[in-house]
Amino acid sequence: MAFGRSSRRKPLVEPVTLKILVAGGFGVGKTTLVGAVSEIRPLRTEETLSEAGRPVDSVEGVEQKNTTTVAMDFGRITLREDLVLYLFGTPGQDRFWFLWDELAQGSLGAVVLADTRRLEDCFAAVDYFERRSIPFTVAVNCFDGAGRYPGDTIRSALDLDPDVPVMMCDARDRESAKAVLIAVVEHALAQVGKAREHAIT
């Protein structure tokens, strides 16, 4: 056929799917980040905070929070035609940590969200991923009114290895949250590459 459109269609690209965890302390913005970037309606397992839970769910610093994730958040984002991320937000409270091992299976990497008002709340997540050699990026969620500190100060406070990326973000903003996810994928793939080189040598 010399003229007109060709009947040939561009072959469909089968996308690579990667699993990324979104972790951090209670009230740090995990559900918000997943919701900000997800191209599907995110699955949320939130329950209203009750008076009975006040002794174990401290809302100091996040007094306006009235719900909490009790299982996971789930969302999906297509970064490229051939790359899709499945996002799993972990529950922040200690009593739900038995779910983390299930959620972590098969994950490429993780985001550890941090809040400078409650920085100690993300120590457990950092420790979890370090112990299991799961690559992670620390993203400081810049809440209104929270202190702003250089990345090196955050790195020192969390005692992070030099190669762990530290960045600032606004979990409410799609582009900011997307940049965090891209950083996680790039860091995780770089770590996989290093591991392969080490195995060969």
Beta-carbon contacts of 24 under 8 Å, excluding residues fewer than 6 positions away, are 30, 90, 92, 111, 112, 113, 114, 115, 121, 122, 125
Residue 160 dihedral angles phi and psi, to the nearest 5°: -85, 150
> How high is the pLDDT of residue 63?
53
Tokens for 139? 């993203």
Superfamily of domain 16-200: P-loop containing nucleotide triphosphate hydrolases (3.40.50.300)
Residue 160's identity, in one-letter code, is L
Alpha helices, H only, 39-148: 100-104, 123-131
> How high is the pLDDT of residue 164?
97
- For residues 184 and 18, the answer to whether their CB atoms sit within 8 Å is no
**What are the E-state strand segments in 61-114?**
67-80, 83-89, 109-114
For residue 60, the SS3 value is: coil
> How high is the pLDDT of residue 187?
97
% pLDDT > 70, the chain: 77
> How high is the pLDDT of residue 181?
97
- What are the residues facing 88 on neighbouring strands? 21, 74
> How high is the pLDDT of residue 3?
44
**Residues 64-87: tens digit of each pLDDT:** 545 554 458 999 999 999 999 999
- For residues 140 and 167, the answer to whether their CB atoms sit within 8 Å is yes
d(CA 185, CA 165): 11
d(CA 50, CA 97): 20
The mean-pLDDT minimum among 43-47, 50-54, 165-169, 189-193 falls in 50-54
Residue boundaries of the structural domains of the chain = 16-200
- pTM more than 0.85: no
- Interval 138-153 mean pLDDT: 94
Residue 73 dihedral angles phi and psi, to the nearest 5°: -110, 150
d(CA 181, CA 200): 29
- Interval 177-189 mean pLDDT: 97
More confident residue, 189 or 49: 189
> How high is the pLDDT of residue 1?
45
Beta-carbon contacts of 101 under 8 Å, excluding residues fewer than 6 positions away, are none
Burial class (CB in 10 A: 0-12, 13-18, 19+), 7: exposed
> How high is the pLDDT of residue 111?
98
Mean predicted lDDT score pLDDT of the chain:
84
**Residues 83-132: tens digit of each pLDDT:** 999 999 998 666 666 788 999 999 999 999 999 999 999 999 999 999 99
Kindly state the DSSP code that residue 165 receives in the 8-state scheme.
Answer: -
> How high is the pLDDT of residue 194?
86
